[in-house]
């Protein structure tokens, strides 16, 4: 029994699936993190009970976006710094900038070259999270070049990929997409994930039921 206080105005927050609590978590700079909300929407971030934020978006990374999220949130932020469309020395520069702005970690996309990961490792104190999208990734090379945490995002194959990595690397920290339900989250945790990334509903989806109520009233 954990005592809980919600208040009157802020009790309608987005809650991550309860099954995430069954994960071991990943301890970063002394803080235990089990749930990561995958969004850049600061309104969602401020009204979600996730432990941390994974701020990755489908555009070239911009420091002003990183700065805005870190300033607005009360959670640790793991900031996307490219590696797909944005490559090479620019990724390293963005990573250094993210650390200076206060990010707890940086996230790079699957196409990121190992030499770029190595260059980032030489410049950073915060952990580098590398995204894994399928079972063919050379995990050992990623770890040898400086990756600290693996972020598995392989759609429906995620539990399978997590299980394969865990069998070969029993001690590597793994975060992974867990799907929308407690059942899918448990499947990913049982496969070997230490932490779960959660995709929240959009503000438009959340507004739908509220607006329906307003119209009826």
Q: What is the pLDDT of residues 93-134, one digit of tens each?
A: 999 999 999 999 999 999 999 999 999 999 999 999 999 999
Residue 98, in any domain of the structure:
yes
The model's pTM = 0.93
* Domain enclosing residue 27, as ranges: 18-199
Burial environment of residue 9 by CB neighbours within 10 A (0 to 12, 13 to 18, 19 or more): exposed
27 forms beta bridges with: 32
- 126 lies in a domain? yes
E-assigned strands of 1-70? 26-28, 31-33, 35-38, 52-55
In a domain, 195, yes or no: yes
Rounded CA-CA distance 82/159 in Å is 25
pLDDT of 141-180, one tens digit each? 999 999 999 999 999 999 999 999 999 999 999 999 998 8
Write the CATH number for 46.
Answer: 3.20.20.60
CA distance 193 to 172: 10
What pLDDT, on the 0 to 100 scale, is given for residue 87? Answer: 87
Residue 9: predicted pLDDT:
80
Residue 112 lies in a domain: yes
Q: How many domains does the chain have?
A: 1
């Amino acid at each position: 029994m954990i005592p809980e206080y919600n208040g009157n105005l802020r009790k309608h927050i987005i809650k991550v699936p309860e099954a995430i609590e069954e994960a071991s978590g990943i301890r970063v700079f002394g803080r235990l993190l089990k749930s990561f909300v995958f969004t850049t929407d600061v309104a969602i971030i401020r009204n979600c009970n996730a432990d941390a934020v994974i701020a990755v978006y489908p555009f070239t990374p911009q420091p002003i976006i990183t700065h805005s999220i870190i300033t607005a949130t009360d959670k640790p932020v793991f900031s996307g710094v490219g590696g797909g469309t944005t490559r090479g020395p620019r990724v390293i520069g963005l990573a250094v900038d993210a650390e200076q702005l206060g990010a707890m970690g940086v996230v790079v996309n699957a196409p990121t070259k190992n030499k770029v990961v190595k260059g980032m490792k030489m410049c950073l104190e915060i952990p580098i999270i590398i995204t894994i999208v399928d079972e063919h990734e050379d995990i050992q090379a990623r770890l040898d070049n400086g990756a600290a945490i693996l972020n598995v995002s392989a759609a429906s194959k995620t539990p399978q990929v997590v299980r394969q990595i865990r069998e070969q690397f029993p001690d590597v920290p793994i975060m992974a997409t867990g799907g929308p339900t407690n059942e899918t989250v448990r499947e990913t945790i049982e496969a070997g994930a230490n932490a779960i990334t959660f995709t929240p509903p959009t503000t438009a989806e959340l507004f739908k039921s509220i607006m329906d109520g307003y119209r009826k009233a």
